[in-house]
Structure 1
Amino acid sequence: MRAFAQILLLSLLVTMLAGCRDQINLEDATLSLMVGIDLNEKNELLFYISSPVFSREAKEKSEEYGIRSSTIRESRMGFDERVTGLTQAGKIQVLVFGKKLLAHPDWFRLLDVVFRDAKFSVNARMAMLDGPLHELFDFKPKDKPRLSIHVTTLIDTANKRNLTVKTRAQELHRQMYEKGMTPTMTELKKEKRAVKAVGTALLKKNGTYAGLIEPRDTILLQTLLHEKQGELSVTIPIKDPNDHKQIVKDRISFFIKGVQKKIKTTYQNGRFHFDVHFKLRVSISERMFPFDMEKDYKKMERMISDELQKDYMKLIKKCQDIGVDPFGFGIYARAYEYKEYKKVEDDWMKAFSNATVEIKPDVSIKGNGVVK
């Protein structure tokens, strides 16, 4: 009798569990792994999807479509009229925006459904294409995996080397509403036979495109944001009066093995001051000129420190000139000079453009390779 009661109770519990009434077989679904939004010549919104095809009979292993629509949700109806299966948005890996779209400050409103609908993936990587999106979605490389997988892997690989940022949808949402910094995302470019990650796209506070920082400067940005994360490899020139005449230039490359960062924030004479002190542990990986490292390694440390300082200051100046703060200095201002920050909170970019930023890298060489 007791056993019967246990079985009856277990049966009742099983019937109360969530079932699979809304299950969709894989061959009946169109998984939108990459989604794009752009504008045409008439400023009409264009939506694109790239999805894998699960069919032995199909010669093409992915399908790409583009339609005119007003919203992401409305575009799904248009795609369902064309694709093989039911369009699913829960597996989106990459959201790509056309450069023309990012010239309009209200583009971010298009992503309302991404954050409102729980079935959408907020982990999608955010990217911008320098050019019309149809060039990307029409690209069918024979020596690459499916387009959506190729672009996803490209962004991840470039980010591991710190050649670009990897901003997911949820992180972009935070950056857009964070008053102390400006958003960033991966910038892509479609070349004749390849898709290239060209660096990091800088956005203004309203979301419009402000400019590009190339992979070398992205490495500097990443050290300011995350200290040491992933692989950090830097090549810098060693100045020589006849350098332009040489085929082999005087260059030195090194891996950054460790980063310690301290930022001192003050407010004096009507402006914010940020003193950034870096301690960098580096290992030399390439040296294209003769140098006695055993005798003069301290001199080499100073040379690297001086060159890095110039590069950091050049990057800071560029961002101040175009009115962006991808470094998040506003967050430090809010934390350490809250009273003064509150006065300029709604116009932080203007305050940052007038701020004084000093970068002081302190380089320590910890390795010189296996040759002298």
Structure 2
Amino acid sequence: MSTKHPNNVNPVQGRSTIRRARRIVIKIGSSSLTSSEGVRQEAIDSLTRTVADLRRQGSEVVLVSSGAIAAGLKPLGLERRPKDLATQQAAAAVGQGWLLAEYSESFWKHGLSVAQVLLTAEELMRRTQYNNAFRALNRLLDLGIVPIVNENDAVATQEIRFGDNDRLAALVANVIKADMLLLLSDVDALYDGPPSREGSRRIALVRGPQDLEGVTIGRAGPAGVGTGGMVTKVDAAEIATGSGIPTLLTSAPNAQLAIDGEDVGTWFAVSGRRKSARAAWLGLMAETRGRITIDDGAVAAVVDRGRSLLPAGMTGVSGRFESGDAVEIADSTGEVIARGLVNYSSTELPAMVGRSTAELRAELGPEYDRVVVHADDCVRLRRRTATRTRLNS
């Protein structure tokens, strides 16, 4: 298979920065750690050697590890990952202990201690819990501990989930203000077609959505123990790079080569600026209560010029929310282009749609002489301009 270098850009651009990263989040998937027989000890040992090497060079590492459900299959006498939530939760409750025990023993050989951190999406959707997660992870790193993070599958509901640990890893990278995200998979890179197909080429560098136009991206593989596939990895990379965190995607056996700056995997270059904890929470994890649709003029003002949203720019309101809640802001096509903290309730806003602040002030009083969403309480989201083909197989 040949290598694709977009627009003749050096594919190793930026990779040397991995060794200089102060904080690194490493995510490894179930298929790289486990099999139908349970946890693969050699895979655990290989990963802990890589993490220990990073620690010796002065980097702090947070490990986001899948594998709890897969590790619980054999003890429960199951051959494949269960489809129903209750059995998934049971497998996770059994497997998480097995997985952590393997990590603890392997890291101990390198003189490192670990801590288990289980998170749910619901917890990070609230700003207080988001800040608590930052403080806890930050303190563990200060104490020289390797936090091992996983979604709390034993209690997470189907309706409120991260969806996959790739996305969780990107969010954790935002929480701890990481300098690098390393996604380890059972595939060595992102390809412009199915990796097994003759003629598929490795994409060495992704600078933005334009480099993925027309790229076929598949979902979970045939092993039956993972959940995300390449789709969630690309989505995680977009979350991280949009927040100023470069991302490298490669296979678990290539982890050490990646750390050494070798030309392996796919490098996702930074496409946005690093966000404050408040902006990261609002843009990525805040639980939105409703949606405000705005016209093209308001889109230009809010997104392009960073202005506050005024009532005159609104074309529609949906959902139930109170003043101070987080809401989505969408354009006329329905694409969500921003998130913000709204200054009015859902019962007040419909009567204000399309009206000027001067008109509202004269009719309803001076308390209506305020913006709908202030620029300081608004996070603009990147608009999806590229087209990707996604497979369901």
Q: TM-score range by the shorter chain?
A: under 0.3
**Under a length normalisation based on structure 2, what TM-score does the superposition of the two structures give?**
0.24
Q: Relative to total residues, which structure has the larger strand share, 1 or 2?
A: 1
**Under a length normalisation based on structure 1, what TM-score does the superposition of the two structures give?**
0.24
Q: Which has the higher contact order (CA 8 A, sep 6+)?
A: 2
Please tell me whether Structure 1 or Structure 2 has the larger radius of gyration of its CA atoms: 1
